Structure 1
């Protein structure tokens, strides 16, 4: 049953209000949606039949109307606001938006089929993590677009070593050694799967040559104790809902050295207030460990849950500070912003992982056994913990041996 325009506007408003959008935002979305529906009415276009090619001309029309009304063109980012409202409206009217593109090109159809099959194999048979699957699929699409675009839909049967060399020669431009090593590993995985499924007659994965990486060749970024204290102090002064949330997250990072996913997946049920313990679901090993809930972390979590967390049914602890109120999925922007606000500029990367390295070094300097450090960090093997040991250079100097004959030379 087709819905009237008034019914769609009412349904859009109800949906936004249920997601706790600000009333001003709801009103703006209604205006943008109504203007788009009026545009469709003038052209006798039913909203259920709208295609992406019909949406783009509307924005040119909307810009002209804006210019006529206000005597100036809108800002370069103005179109994002009506675009969001229109997408939500069309999602209500059509069920899904944007619709799946129609595939007419045989090469594109072949790429879609291979990637779909490859993704299913990685997810169902290999059980790989979503992030790993996404990374391998990006490389697969890039390689298939390059090769099929040059040789057509039937070009895989003739894929050879020369094609691999040409692609890698193009791929190496502008990549660091570590990034190139990852790209070669992902390409090898795709080639093995193409051979496994019979799409190429020979396994070409051994012919993908990448840079040799040496163990512990890169020194990871980290923070010292004074820098961490500064970031926590400055963030702790922000008593807004977002500030309370960020302070609790930073306390978890600094105290336990958790991974991004372990914080984003933390649930209310994982906090045992009576036993003062915290259950951590390690994202890589899929195991659970229990940490003592120390006072600074517990106080920060309590403040956030009482005064900063939006009132939502979701059981995940940390929620976005702006509607729609869903669980957080990324901490990089938050950490970078808090580091900048505190005037802390670490050398190298500036994501949440630098707190993890700092915690590992702190435990090492406290003479904590390497096995226990690995357990705290959720490592599967002791070798995974060795990456962090090279950061404690002062501790390594303290145990250096005397050079024979040094007394004579001096």
Structure 2
């Protein structure tokens, strides 16, 4: 092995060790990385210029060697660890992996330019949240690939209502009504931008037809107070580092009704222990609000920070319970597992938002004004808060008026 490859293997080992990987996992990663580097050396290929196609060729070669050695095909999970090791190795060697697709030809360059300008417009002029921009950009790339594949750059200026109908028929096949409405809204946003920038001569947004969604037509999943108490009680019994982390997250969900992203992005600096307050960065509005640090939440956070949180340099509070110790980006699986462990199976979705819905209903039943509920939940308008009214069905029944003429005469 060359000195350069030896240095790269050493860097990989150092990185994995710093991320607190098990020594056996580090040894396996070294083994897989070394085998890949040997393959490149035999073919006089540089690790700094390796492309995805060459990775596929390597695994075809590795599978063939496996068959010769063991007389059978490898299992479906056999290549998972080698893939992970090689990806980490290539990130060290090239700085980024997978590489950014190369822009080739005038049509591809134009598509790329439109996407970059559209993303900048969504950020700087529309002020949308990152998650919303990601969804809009996915739809934009999908449409531009489809349209340029049919008629190239010239086809964009000749875009017609018939083209819009064809795309929507293709794009929305098999989607539910709410998903259809989202795709239509994303598509209108792109067409509006293309018209504003003069890339299409006619404003075609009125011709993107999505389904009519009626107010309060879809009642979301929620939990009652007994179910919330049960899942907190069961999770509190798990004193492992992961259990301490999950209990602190569930306390935040149940107490404040925070969004998933607001919890994942919560940082150590956001807790003011002396003032007993918590700074929440609302992911949809990019605004900050300050909540009182209530005793159950504070105690749960303190337990996790003392006895459950791995020693990492990052300032995010909640990190993965196994290496690599990066901050958490998704709570759905954790919430679903904790609900299942408590024997709770609400209808519909079972992610972190069920706690947010439950908190909204609790505040409504306590006669808290909608404006204050909206402030607690980080809503920009009362219309967003109104959607939670449909969950308080028992309260609505209690104030329902009798229908005239419905009395039974004796």
TM beyond 0.5: yes
CA distance in 1, matches of 2:309, 2:272: 18
Alignment match, 2:278:
278
CA distance in 2, matches of 1:49, 1:189: 38
**What CA RMSD, in Å, does the superposition of the two structures yield over aligned residues?**
1.9
CA distance in 2, matches of 1:19, 1:272: 28
1:267 shift after superposition: 1.4
Alignment match, 1:388:
388
CA distance in 1, matches of 2:83, 2:164: 41
Alignment match, 1:239:
239
Segment of structure 1 superposing worse, 340-349 or 365-374? 365-374
Post-superposition CA distance 1:238-273 (Å, at most 9, x none): 222111111110111011111111111111122222
Q: Is 1:136 matched with 2:136?
A: yes
Unaligned runs of 5+ in 2: none
1:138 shift after superposition: 1.3
Q: Is 1:250 matched with 2:272?
A: no
Contact 2:281–2:289 (Cα < 8 Å) also in 1: yes
Contact 2:335–2:352 (Cα < 8 Å) also in 1: yes
Aligned residues: 409
Post-superposition CA distance 1:368-398 (Å, at most 9, x none): 2323222221222222211111111111111
CA distance in 2, matches of 1:380, 1:193: 24
Counterparts in 2 of 1:394 and 1:96: CA distance versus 1, 3 Å: closer
Q: Is 1:343 matched with 2:328?
A: no
Alignment match, 1:171:
171
Unaligned runs of 5+ in 1: none
Alignment match, 1:56:
56
Contact 1:3–1:93 (Cα < 8 Å) also in 2: no
What TM-score results when the alignment is normalised by the length of structure 1?
0.94
Does the residue aligned with 1:275 lie in a helix, a strand or coil?
Answer: coil
How do 1:276-355 residues align onto structure 2 when only pairs under 5 Å count?
A: 276-355=276-355
Does the residue aligned with 2:143 lie in a helix, a strand or coil?
Answer: helix
Counterparts in 2 of 1:367 and 1:49: CA distance versus 1, 3 Å: closer
1:68 shift after superposition: 4.1
What TM-score results when the alignment is normalised by the length of structure 2?
0.94
Counterparts in 2 of 1:218 and 1:115: CA distance versus 1, 3 Å: same
Contact 1:115–1:140 (Cα < 8 Å) also in 2: yes
Counterparts in 2 of 1:91 and 1:283: CA distance versus 1, 3 Å: closer
Contact 1:148–1:156 (Cα < 8 Å) also in 2: yes
CA distance in 1, matches of 2:20, 2:68: 34
Contact 1:107–1:149 (Cα < 8 Å) also in 2: no
Alignment match, 2:76:
76
Does the residue aligned with 2:56 lie in a helix, a strand or coil?
Answer: helix
1:90 shift after superposition: 1.8
Runs of 4+ deviating beyond 6 Å: none
1:407 shift after superposition: 3.9
1:289 shift after superposition: 2.4
1:70 shift after superposition: 4.3
Contact 1:172–1:180 (Cα < 8 Å) also in 2: yes
Alignment match, 2:203:
203
1:276 shift after superposition: 2.5
Contact 2:128–2:284 (Cα < 8 Å) also in 1: no
Alignment match, 1:263:
263
Counterparts in 2 of 1:390 and 1:49: CA distance versus 1, 3 Å: closer
